[in-house]
Amino acid sequence: MKWAKGVSGNPGGRPKLEVSIRDLAQQNSMEALETLVQVMRSGKPGERLVAANAILDRAYGRPTQSVEMSGDCSTLVDLLVSLNQNHASSDPATGSAQITDAAACSDGDPNLLPASERQH
């Protein structure tokens, strides 16, 4: 049976558990950590590495990963300049431009085209 648009098939949501999984995990976290330490010290080499990484991740957080961006940033710059020029009003306090209604811009707005493609 299909539900009418905007109607939930489960309006009450998932039934609440008497003991949340988070609470249960927190109650057993010391034992879990002790198990990780035991595996790190006496497990097989691969298991030791996984356990050591798990301990370090929980102690210090996972290492940050850098993301390399490639491509031409001029399109984004053109968009921002265009929004500023065509959809901004002057802030009375500072005199600088401020965008007041970016939601009014649509994909087909000719003012959002890159400078090289705009017709003046």
User: What is the pLDDT tens value at each position of the chain, 120 positions in all?
Assistant: 677 777 777 777 777 666 778 888 889 999 999 999 999 999 999 999 999 999 999 999 988 888 776 766 677 777 777 777 776 676 667 766 665 555 555 666 665 555 566 555
- CA–CA dist 57, 54 (Å, integer): 5
Q: Are residues 78 and 54 in the same domain?
A: no
Q: Count structural domains, the chain.
A: 2
Quick check: is 103 in a domain? yes
H or E stretch covering 98: strand 97-99
Domain that holds residue 36: 21-60
Quick check: is 34 in a domain? yes
- CA–CA dist 22, 35 (Å, integer): 19
pTM over 0.85: no
Quick check: is 13 in a domain? no
Q: What is the pLDDT of residues 9-35, one digit of tens each?
A: 777 777 766 677 888 888 999 999 999
